[in-house]
Amino acid sequence: MYSTRNFKLSAIALLIAGVFTACSSDDSTTEISDEKGRLGIYAQASYSQNKSNDQHRATVVELSRFIVNIEEIELEYESMVGEDSFYGSDDEIELRGPFELNLLSSEPIPIVNINIPRGVLEEVEFEFDKNGNQDSDLYNQSMRMEGTINGVPFVFWHDFEEEIELEFDSDNSNGMIIDNENTFLINFDLNFILDGTTSVDVSTATDGDANGVIEISPRDNDGNRNLAEAIKQAIKNQIDVFEDLYD
């Protein structure tokens, strides 16, 4: 089974579009140690259409897309193995995107697969930002969800710019980069979020401008701005990181 890691929120994944650098506490660029391990970072949204079709539920939500835009990912070390280890806890590796990811997939979506120094990671940080690609459906948005609510088309989007920190437990082996088989899976639990009994009640969404589409966003004509904020917060609260992709 997956081995979960708890995390804290401070204020979330196309393949890597940038480069990575290792930085010491004095912001000087350093050379990556030869003692490396391989790390693959993946993301996926957990969502069951069967659960949404439960006849006992008053509101039936069907999703067709869930896209997020990550501007940057940072891996911060607690300690490194080898020559780089003297830099201490301020060592970090920056993975510069942007990463535009449609997470409704039957398989985990790869964000990046790289060689990094072996050691113990302290935290992983994600920076949400607005998408700058004018040809993308996510343009000027950092998150977008599409589907139906009780058969009526809906679109949720948000343009928030925030950083999310996922802290690794300090008292076990979580976050260790040992060899060439290290993988992390970032999971969004949309089942919990869209279940009106446990999180957000989307049955309150309205089509205020009567155009046939329920629009849920920070600025819309349908009167769903408060609901957009609730969905954004719920998504941020339901992100977990797992040590392995599969059993």
Residue at 192 is within a domain: yes
Residue at 247 is within a domain: no
Residue at 232 is within a domain: yes
Residue with tokens 């040992």: 178
Residue at 81 is within a domain: yes
Residue at 206 is within a domain: yes
Which pair of tokens denotes residue 216?
């849920």
pLDDT by residue for the chain (247 residues), tens only, comes to 333 333 333 323 333 333 333 333 333 333 334 578 888 899 999 887 655 445 555 678 899 999 999 999 998 888 777 654 444 445 788 899 999 999 998 889 999 998 888 888 888 888 999 999 999 999 999 999 999 999 999 999 999 999 988 877 655 455 777 777 788 888 898 888 876 666 788 888 999 999 999 999 998 779 999 999 999 999 988 887 776 665 3
The reported pLDDT for the residue numbered 16 is 30
Helix or strand (DSSP H, E) at 191: helix 190-194
Which pair of tokens denotes residue 234?
């719920």
Phi-psi domain of 212 (left: phi exceeds 0; alpha: psi -120 through 50; beta: other): left
pTM of the model: 0.76
The reported pLDDT for the residue numbered 92 is 81
Q: Based on the structure, what is the number of domains in the chain?
A: 1
The reported pLDDT for the residue numbered 31 is 38
The reported pLDDT for the residue numbered 180 is 72
**Residue 71's domain spans which residues?**
4-242
The reported pLDDT for the residue numbered 47 is 83
3-state secondary structure of 177: strand
CA dihedral 27, 5, 198, 196 (to 10 degrees): 60
Contacts of 6 (CB under 8 A, 6+ apart): 167, 169
The reported pLDDT for the residue numbered 244 is 62
Contact assessment for residue 84 and residue 33, using Cβ atoms and an 8 Å cutoff: yes
